[in-house]
Chains A and B, each alone.
Chain A
Amino acid sequence: MALHDWALIVFTVLAQMSVGSFIVLGVVHFFAARKAGMEQADRLSDRALLAIVPVLALAFGASLLHLGNPLNAYRAVTNIGTSWLSREILFGVSFAVVATLFALLQWRKIGPFIFRTIIAWIASILGLILVFSMAKVYMLPSQPSWNTLATPITFFVTTFLLGVMAMGIAFVANYAYIHKKKDDCIDAQCSLLRDSLRGISIAAVILLGIELVVLPVYIVVLATGSTAAVASLKMMAGEYLVLFILRVTLGFLGAGVLALFLYQNASSVGREKFIGYLAYPAFFAVLAAEVIGRFIFYATHVGIGL
């Protein structure tokens, strides 16, 4: 696989993770604020929010590597009318700008809460449209292994799965950071951490479940599809079988086994440190699974025709 294909893997996975993280963070913040008040909620999520910005930057940096002619990149939004790639770039840039803006506002607490909330909503909607556009980019009639509902579904699953897992470690890291500094309000953050990680664990398992439902259906769709679709499937079941099994195993391990452990450990007080030990491997297992999954996605596409 050439460099420009790796660029695409990095871009799509990281961009989706950013969108997922942003939205998950919003949801967690909402519940955290209801439970422990705005201040505690902000303490839980503000650093995590700022962490999204460099990830976004990395994603878009990678996307430029994919172009043969990066200096002309600005032209990439000149065909919004028909090109989903143009739309992807438009919504990608929009999401990045608005999300970054929100992060800055939220960090510095600039503007009234309601204003920031509206910005957050706009960013979230842009993010969701971005993920949808990303899926549409690949839903080409000439690419049967991409042109199925599985593409948007798995893109959204990736978005939220990486979003929850990334936020999981963000919270764990945040907690460790706060814990080191001062002791006074550990209990509030501590319970928020446990609550959010429980929620994250449940979400991960549900998302994994969706993935495990989509996968066999996808295989059946390919198997009964055109010659090109069958050729893609043969590649997955052939030269990429080991990777494919690795991807499923890692996903199952991260979003299944480790997530359940996480849930279990997040349910009882005093195991916060141990949660950290679980959250990191769970995240990296899922990240690896998604990267491998995306690699297979690109590697096994076989176009119709020539």
Chain B
Amino acid sequence: MANQMAFYFNASVCNGCKACEIACKSKNNLPVGRNWRKVYQYGGGEWVPDPLDPAFQKPNLYAYAVSVACMHCEKPLCLEACPAAAITKQENGIVLIDADLCIGCRYCQWACPYGAPQFDEETATMTKCNMCVDEVAEGKKPYCVDACVMRALEFGELEELRQKYGDVDAIEPLPPSNITHPSLVVTPHRHSQPSGKGTGRILDFEEV
């Protein structure tokens, strides 16, 4: 897609503050339970005896945050999977769900490795990040991007973002990019681990 729109995420500066997550909730009136953008922390490591003084433990740890929304993939598995043809890819590459067509089977949820499609209990249809199409149509940026306090998020044409920031499109805990070819450019954190080869875990404390 020539003018595929995309998100850029700079993991080296994100402190996991979730301003983007809440900005998205406010913009889209999302209730508790649905987060079209979600911030994860990934990390691991261990304490080891300090080689310079083994009486003390030395932290050999790492942690970093990753802000994730719909990747508006080049090969959107959700779109392929949807039996009702409710998911479409726009000319600018933005992937949208048409709630009127959706049958609420949640199959796209299984297909997507980013957790982007989320079920709206009230309308019994799937919903997800629409890259603030309304704002973009007016030449503005998605809310999450303008919300970022660390300026870790950007929005633009995929090709331009790649020229500017390189072509990394996956770090842990994101899935390997060959599954869906996400429209994403990432600047890794100094501790970032390659996708699919991580030694850590998602650190967020999820209540159930």
> Interface on A for B, CB 8 Å cutoff?
4, 66-70, 72-73, 75-79, 82-86, 89, 137, 140-143, 226-227, 301, 303-306
Partner of B101, one of A75, A137, A301: A75
Closest Cβ of chain A to B140, distance in Å, is 27
Query: Bound complex: CA of A143 vs CA of B77, how far in Å?
Result: 12
Q: Which residue of chain B lies nearest to A71 when distances are taken between CB atoms in the complex?
A: B103
List, in ascending order, chain A residues with CB within 8 A of B81's CB: 82-85, 140
Q: Which among A83, A143, A227, A306 is the interface contact of B110 at CB below 8 angstroms?
A: A143
Q: Can you show 28 pairs from A to B with CB atoms below 8 A apart?
A: A4-B106, A67-B103, A68-B104, A68-B106, A68-B119, A68-B124, A69-B103, A69-B104, A75-B86, A75-B103, A76-B103, A78-B83, A83-B83, A85-B81, A85-B83, A89-B83, A140-B110, A142-B111, A142-B175, A142-B179, A304-B113, A304-B176, A304-B179, A305-B113, A305-B114, A305-B173, A305-B174, A306-B113
Complex Cα–Cα for A4 and B121 (A): 13
Q: Bound complex: CA of A79 vs CA of B107, how far in Å?
A: 13
In the bound assembly, the distance between CA atoms of A66 and B110 in angstroms comes to 14
Contact B84 A78 (CB under 8 A): yes
The answer on a CB contact under 8 Å between B40 and A306 is: yes
The proximity string for B residues 36-56 relative to A, scoring 1 for CB distances below 8 Å and 0 otherwise, is: 001010000000000000000
A76 to B114, CA, bound (A): 23
Our count of residue pairs bridging A and B at CB distance below 8 angstroms stands at 107
Interface pair B179/A303, CB less than 8 Å apart: no
Q: From B71, which residue of chain A is reached at the shortest CB distance?
A: A305
Q: Are B174 and A306 in contact (CB under 8 A)?
A: yes
A163→B77 CA distance, assembly (Å): 33
Residue of A nearest to B103 (CB): A72
Cβ–Cβ < 8 Å partners of A83 in chain B: 80-83, 85, 107
Whether B111 and A77, one on each chain, are in contact in the complex, defined by CB atoms closer than 8 angstroms, is no
State how many angstroms separate the Cβ of A57 from the closest Cβ of chain B. Answer: 20
Interface pair B111/A72, CB less than 8 Å apart: no
Q: Are B106 and A306 in contact, with the CB atoms below 8 A?
A: no
Please, how many angstroms separate the alpha-carbon atoms of A66 and B79 in the complex? 19
Q: Which residues of A lie under 8 Å from residue B14 when comparing CB positions? A: none
How close is A28's CB to chain B, nearest CB, in angstroms? Answer: 35
Interface centre among B79, B80, B176, B180 (most CB of A within 10 A): B80
B156 touches A (CB below 8 Å): no
Inside 8 A of B198's CB, which chain A residues have their CB? 227
Any A CB within 8 A of the CB of B16: no
A301 to B104, CA, bound (A): 20
Interface string of B169-188 (1 = CB under 8 A from A): 00001111001100000000
B133 interfacial by beta-carbon distance below 8 Å: no
- Closest partner residue, chain B, to A138 (CB atom): B110
CA distance A82 to B88 in the complex (A): 12
Please name the residue on chain B nearest to A82 by beta carbon.
B80
- Which of chain B's residues have a CB closer than 8 A to the CB of A72? 84, 101-104
Q: Do A141 and B77 touch (CB < 8 A)?
A: yes
Would you call A306 and B84 a contact (CB within 8 A)?
Answer: no
